[in-house]
Structure 1
Amino acid sequence: MKTIIKHLQQLVAGIFILLTTGCNKNFLDRQPDDMLDLDAVFAQALETERYLANVYSFVPPLGDGNQGFEGSFMSIADEADFGASFMYANHLHNIGNWGPSTTVFDFWTYLYQGVRSASVFIARVDECQEMSAELRKQRKAEARALRAFYYSLLLRQYGPVVVLAETPFEIDTPPESLQLARTPYDACVQYISAEFDQAISDLPARITDQGQLGRVDQLVVLAAKARMLLYAASPLFNGNADYGNFVNPDGTPLINTVYDHEKWKTAADAAKAVIDRMPSGLLIKTDETGSPNPLSSYRDVFLDRWNQEIIWGRQPKGELLDWHWWQHCAPHQAGGEAVYGATQQQVDAFFMANGERPITGYNTDGSPIINPRSGYTEQGFAEETTQYWNEGVSKMYVGREPRFYATISFNGASWVNRGEDGNQSYRFEFWAGGADLVGDNYSKTGYAIRKFIHPSTVWNPNWANVTVEKLQDIIFRLGEVYLNYAEALNEYDFAGNQVEILHYLNLIRKRAGIPAYGTAPGQIAPPPSQSAMRDAIRAERRAELVFEDLRIWDCRRWKIAEQTDDGPFYGINIKGGSHLSDPLLYKRVVFENRVFQRKHYLWPIPQTEVERNRQCVQNPFW
């Protein structure tokens, strides 16, 4: 099966080269003897299903599985760093050393291969008479939804895209016919929305068959459409005057610079459609007394396969990718490298247990402005051990919300796995001479990530007797949709929707184990204005959706990345402190100065592509 899929990918890639280059059509005049031709593929049900599996394979994996192992999108957002000594693409991105000729995290060709593969399937699946007509209809709808999803991913990264014809180009298409202009952004959104709508009618409402989980169903399509419409309503693409000169060669504007308030209503309605179709709410776990356990409730969203909150996930990844993630988060003492480090800015973004934000801003020297209502302090050390922290840890990490402890590893914190004998416990030591600051690969921020790490994984410092608990990529989950809905409602009509907005925001906070916004005793005063509510929603997204490859797009679509992603990035003073209770260790220090300029809001189209297709203009400011 792997051989056949590999051959099919080679075929798709080869055809795509013709599509994008418009040169030397003789390159594909001959077909290798060992490659199945499309007539043979679509004559058999098994091969047809395998071809569709190939279409699914272009869904980009999250985290360490990103195409080409370039790090991950989270390591080029303001939430994390990838501290390996090798110059991975995330480092080039963060220092501004990238562009059309030196692209990083470039999915242009990759996603268009997925588009092409889906189009071939749609055009030819009805030739497979071994499949029932009903099954062919469903499979075609799956491919149509996947194609629309790939377009939506291109749209968020590159802006207006080239929308290809429904029927794939023939091999002998003249090169001049392959000179294609980009479609205006709003027209792209309309096209993709229509494709999603067409696919829904032929898909099952919800897939529950254990053997079919991971396939596209109606709820998946609704979630994909809702996210795209939220992005389309956001400031980057809705009335952005910076793109006034962004036009096709014939002068057609590619992004509408006139703000359309109704786009927020469209986005809100789309998110609500998902919520109304979900059979159950957020995942809630309980302890031995039957009370909600906020730490395990949040943690296990990502560990319990196909739990009630998941809208679309990928089947468990290969062991190698899970191994990579574990290795890059585990402490050196346990056999890992802990090269994924949360930034101090992200650590500061988590709430306190009382529901208040600890940090309200920063002084010019990078020192924090502390919220006096939060109870947060950076002075002293814990005198007791609790379920969340150990005695001796800095009070920076005491009294935080449960999501913080489910997500961040800090000095003195116990690692989630206890070793192969079940008794060893590793406590993080990120300081000069500490057990986890070893060699060249380590967290440069003084923090590591524990989100997505399964406690059942068995490892040891010698990398022997390894048992990696396989995880799944969660592409859409209900918690995100709640926040999408709250954001769209707030932007559309804060005054008329305040009760509804707070309801869904508080569902997230309740599961997280922190006080709700409200007027009852023990609650937090509700945000009094649209701008205050906007800040509250964005703060909740930053804590709830951290490291899920969403923050990077949030900062861009809100047009705040020039503030969040540019300038000094902080961690703790790992080279200056010498032991757990050394106050010097917890001084904030710059580990990297990052570069974000106006041109970086949209990725550049690879230079080779705009040279081959002269109708495809480059993105602004590149």
Structure 2
Amino acid sequence: MLDLDKVFAQALEAERYLANVYSYTPPLGDGNHGFESSFISIADEADFGASFMYANHMHNIGNWGPSTTVFNFWTYLYQGIRSASVFIARIDECADMSATLRTQRKAEARALRAYYYSLLLRQYGPVVILPETPFEINTPPAELQLPRTPFDACVDYLVAEFDQAMADLPDRITDQGQLGRIDQLAVQAMKARMLLYAASPLFNGNTDYAAFTNPDNTPLINTVYDREKWKAAADAAKVIIDRMPAGLYRKTDESGSIDPLRSYRDVFLDRWNQEIIWGRQPKENLLNWHWWQHCAPRQAGGESVYGATQQQVDAFFMANGERPVIGYNSDGSPIINPRAGYSEQGFAEENTAYWNEGVSNMYVEREPRFYATISFNGASWVNKGSDNNQSYRFEFWMGGADLVGENYSKTGYAIRKFIHPSTIWNPNWANVNVEQMQDIFFRLGEVYLNYAEALNEYDFNANQSEILRYVNLVRERAGIPGYGNQSGQVAEPASQEAMREAIRAERRVELVFEDFRIWDCRRWKIAEQTDNGPFYGINIRGGNQLSDPELYKRIAFENRVFQRRHYLWPIPQTEVERNRQCVQNPFW
């Protein structure tokens, strides 16, 4: 075992130590360091249909709290923060590494530390900002009693940390052997997202937290709304946009037109494409095949255990750019948009590039992102199997091939996003293109929507054309009409409230299953409506064949619990007992 003196005496060991600091970055979809507890399955977009009582089930039924924490990132991310601080404090001892490289590596660790703090901010609110120099192992307990730093002060500190890190980082990492390291653009994306969250209703003028104070009565969240926070978020996002003039990733067909399905699907599959701001090779290829196995049909060796909710299926637009469902009645039945051309009656009479003959009309004439993301009854799997001959079509119904045993999709849908078309069971979910996969932490599509949202909240009237420009760029790549007043376009949102609804609807589709929805609903303070009450799928145990109308009736598969206290996670009870200056979050 090497002690720290020996670690920071050798460049190789110091690099390994920094690699460990990087390793605390949570992978996409990993709610508790395992897909069985993914964040997506505690948002209103998905369910994890395993029979076991995983953390997501505990969360969804409200069976959690300070003593029974789920998704506990408080302990985990503070470990990463300490490791980063140790590296920052000691890397200059490494005479075996050039001064230039030491400066860059220190900036990487500084950015990672700030990023980990920002992840804590979105989940727990105000955090304890630790001293620059890590505590010694024998520090007296009395010196470890530290209060939480007010939220706005946390944000100011992290903005300064991000800016300091950027000053010592390269603009962009282009060396193929170094891709995945932090550069200026990645840090700017971290900063911009944090500023967007800080400007949002949960943290900007939230009077619910008026009594949320430290033991000395210092307020921890400012209850006075500050419109300028949206301006700061918009400005930070625009820096990224201006530095990525190539725009969104696109693939074209033989005529040179955008191929929307391949463009959207492959932004997650084509390694280090032009839209990616920061990503990394997954910690283990095991995570990839776990995801594939949990999404593939049982006929192809999978489990189809990740199911999209009916609410999420309803959120996808129609091919004409209209939303099919614009609300729900008290019994859960949909309020259908008369302009959408959407029907839940009847079945498709022909095969197309997007759907098969015989599927419910619920899934016909939807937008291309729907077909790149959702597996539904009668839909073909992404490939034909190892013999390139067998065609798998999903069968979520009583007696169907994919409703078997205890672990299956309870919603009647599965997820196909992030799955490569060459994924096959052979028999260990090998993928010939697995080396091309990466976790994507920041991409330009998100930044466009962040920018549009911040501009809208800051000043809709002054920024309407700029807002529409970036929302419409996302819709153009998706293959659906933009908002506007020209023939074939969707009616332009005419107010700040209407534009807000349009932007949120776009985020829900474009960023689905990328770990955004859970935080969006919380920061917008709408989770008490979106994440509480009955969650719907189709009637998988009522129908018995693809053409059975009974199968497509909406039915609640779960009743979820979301209360006001759930907007912020509770700090683990053991932590507040050790640190008496660290007050618990409100309402816990």
Normalization by structure 1: what TM-score? 0.93
Q: d(CA) in 2 for partners of 1:284 and 1:207?
A: 22
Aligned to 2:538: 572
8 Å contact from structure 1 (residues 555, 561) kept in 2 = yes
Shift of 1:376: 0.2
Shift of 1:68: 4.8
Q: d(CA) in 2 for partners of 1:194 and 1:403?
A: 38
Query: In the alignment, does 2:231 pair up with 1:240?
Result: no
Aligned to 1:511: 477
Q: d(CA) in 1 for partners of 2:21 and 2:549?
A: 54
Shift of 1:317: 4.2
Aligned to 1:388: 354
User: Out of 484, 507, 518, which is 1:552 matched to?
Assistant: 518
SS across alignment from 2:169: coil
Query: In the alignment, does 2:55 pair up with 1:67?
Result: no
Q: d(CA) in 2 for partners of 1:538 and 1:306?
A: 27
Q: d(CA) in 1 for partners of 2:490 and 2:18?
A: 50
Q: d(CA) in 1 for partners of 2:35 and 2:354?
A: 33
Q: d(CA) in 1 for partners of 2:31 and 2:41?
A: 13
Once the two structures are superposed, residues 267-289 of structure 1 have per-residue CA deviations (whole angstroms, 9 ceiling, x without a partner) of 10011011111252101101233
SS across alignment from 1:265: helix
Query: Could you tell me which amino acid in structure 1 is paired with residue 346 of structure 2?
Result: G
SS across alignment from 1:475: strand
8 Å contact from structure 1 (residues 456, 469) kept in 2 = no
Query: Could you tell me which amino acid in structure 1 is paired with residue 107 of structure 2?
Result: A
Query: In the alignment, does 2:52 pair up with 1:86?
Result: yes
Shift of 1:466: 6.8
Query: Could you tell me which amino acid in structure 1 is paired with residue 260 of structure 2?
Result: P
Aligned to 1:538: 504
**Residues 265 and 466 from structure 1, CA distance in 2 versus in 1: closer, same or farther, beyond 3 angstroms?**
closer
Aligned to 2:243: 277
SS across alignment from 1:170: coil
Q: d(CA) in 1 for partners of 2:29 and 2:149?
A: 30
Query: Could you tell me which amino acid in structure 1 is paired with residue 50 of structure 2?
Result: A
Q: d(CA) in 2 for partners of 1:580 and 1:307?
A: 39
8 Å contact from structure 1 (residues 335, 463) kept in 2 = no
SS across alignment from 1:522: coil
**Residues 390 and 353 from structure 1, CA distance in 2 versus in 1: closer, same or farther, beyond 3 angstroms?**
same
Q: d(CA) in 2 for partners of 1:406 and 1:398?
A: 14
SS across alignment from 2:491: coil
8 Å contact from structure 1 (residues 82, 341) kept in 2 = yes
Aligned to 1:426: 392
Aligned to 2:229: 263
Query: In the alignment, does 2:286 pair up with 1:320?
Result: yes
User: Out of 424, 427, 434, which is 1:469 matched to?
Assistant: 434
Query: Could you tell me which amino acid in structure 1 is paired with residue 150 of structure 2?
Result: P
SS across alignment from 2:403: coil
Q: d(CA) in 1 for partners of 2:430 and 2:213?
A: 58
Shift of 1:290: 2.2
Aligned to 1:446: 412
Aligned to 2:493: 527
Aligned to 2:587: 621
**Residues 163 and 286 from structure 1, CA distance in 2 versus in 1: closer, same or farther, beyond 3 angstroms?**
same
Shift of 1:236: 0.2
User: Out of 274, 279, 284, which is 1:308 matched to?
Assistant: 274
Shift of 1:537: 0.2
Q: d(CA) in 1 for partners of 2:206 and 2:37?
A: 30
Q: d(CA) in 1 for partners of 2:36 and 2:215?
A: 34
Q: d(CA) in 1 for partners of 2:283 and 2:91?
A: 28
8 Å contact from structure 2 (residues 32, 72) kept in 1 = no
SS across alignment from 1:63: coil
Q: d(CA) in 1 for partners of 2:90 and 2:226?
A: 39
**Residues 123 and 527 from structure 1, CA distance in 2 versus in 1: closer, same or farther, beyond 3 angstroms?**
same
Once the two structures are superposed, residues 273-320 of structure 1 have per-residue CA deviations (whole angstroms, 9 ceiling, x without a partner) of 111112521011012332210000000010001000000001144221
8 Å contact from structure 2 (residues 289, 430) kept in 1 = no
**For 1:315-354, what aligned pairs fall within 5 Å after superposition?**
315-354=281-320
User: Out of 448, 451, 457, which is 1:485 matched to?
Assistant: 451
Query: Could you tell me which amino acid in structure 1 is paired with residue 464 of structure 2?
Result: Q
User: Out of 3, 10, 15, which is 1:49 matched to?
Assistant: 15
8 Å contact from structure 2 (residues 207, 223) kept in 1 = yes
Query: In the alignment, does 2:461 pair up with 1:495?
Result: yes
Shift of 1:458: 2.1
Aligned to 2:148: 182
Q: d(CA) in 1 for partners of 2:282 and 2:407?
A: 27
User: Out of 81, 98, 113, which is 1:132 matched to?
Assistant: 98
**For 1:579-598, what aligned pairs fall within 5 Å after superposition?**
579-598=545-564
Query: Could you tell me which amino acid in structure 2 is paired with residue 469 of structure 1?
Result: V
Shift of 1:66: 4.2
8 Å contact from structure 1 (residues 64, 325) kept in 2 = no
Query: In the alignment, does 2:62 pair up with 1:99?
Result: no
**For 1:151-162, what aligned pairs fall within 5 Å after superposition?**
151-162=117-128
Aligned to 2:323: 357
Query: In the alignment, does 2:563 pair up with 1:607?
Result: no
SS across alignment from 2:170: coil
8 Å contact from structure 2 (residues 35, 290) kept in 1 = no
Moved over 6 A (4+): none
8 Å contact from structure 1 (residues 358, 376) kept in 2 = yes
SS across alignment from 1:86: coil
User: Out of 194, 216, 220, which is 1:254 matched to?
Assistant: 220
Shift of 1:70: 4.4
8 Å contact from structure 1 (residues 330, 338) kept in 2 = yes
Once the two structures are superposed, residues 83-118 of structure 1 have per-residue CA deviations (whole angstroms, 9 ceiling, x without a partner) of 001110000000000000000011000000000000
8 Å contact from structure 1 (residues 459, 467) kept in 2 = no
User: Out of 358, 361, 376, which is 1:410 matched to?
Assistant: 376
Query: In the alignment, does 2:255 pair up with 1:289?
Result: yes
Q: d(CA) in 1 for partners of 2:211 and 2:29?
A: 35
Shift of 1:517: 0.7
Q: d(CA) in 2 for partners of 1:566 and 1:106?
A: 21
SS across alignment from 1:313: strand
Aligned to 1:6: none
Shift of 1:464: 8.1
Q: d(CA) in 1 for partners of 2:185 and 2:217?
A: 39
Aligned to 1:11: none
Q: d(CA) in 2 for partners of 1:94 and 1:300?
A: 32
Q: d(CA) in 1 for partners of 2:457 and 2:430?
A: 52
8 Å contact from structure 1 (residues 322, 468) kept in 2 = no
8 Å contact from structure 2 (residues 295, 414) kept in 1 = yes
Q: d(CA) in 2 for partners of 1:290 and 1:310?
A: 23
Q: d(CA) in 2 for partners of 1:407 and 1:122?
A: 41
8 Å contact from structure 2 (residues 484, 491) kept in 1 = yes
**Residues 465 and 115 from structure 1, CA distance in 2 versus in 1: closer, same or farther, beyond 3 angstroms?**
closer
Query: Could you tell me which amino acid in structure 1 is paired with residue 495 of structure 2?
Result: S
The number of residues matched between the two structures is 587
Query: Could you tell me which amino acid in structure 1 is paired with residue 243 of structure 2?
Result: R
Q: Which runs of 5 or more residues in structure 2 are unaligned?
A: none
**Residues 463 and 49 from structure 1, CA distance in 2 versus in 1: closer, same or farther, beyond 3 angstroms?**
closer
Q: d(CA) in 2 for partners of 1:616 and 1:65?
A: 24
Q: d(CA) in 2 for partners of 1:547 and 1:68?
A: 15
Aligned to 1:31: none
8 Å contact from structure 2 (residues 321, 482) kept in 1 = yes
Normalization by structure 2: what TM-score? 0.99
Shift of 1:65: 7.3
8 Å contact from structure 2 (residues 289, 429) kept in 1 = no
Deviating more after overlay: 324-333 vs 308-317 = 308-317
Query: In the alignment, does 2:397 pair up with 1:397?
Result: no
**Residues 576 and 617 from structure 1, CA distance in 2 versus in 1: closer, same or farther, beyond 3 angstroms?**
same
Q: d(CA) in 2 for partners of 1:112 and 1:466?
A: 35
SS across alignment from 1:479: helix
RMSD over aligned Cα atoms:
1.1
SS across alignment from 1:361: strand
Aligned to 1:8: none
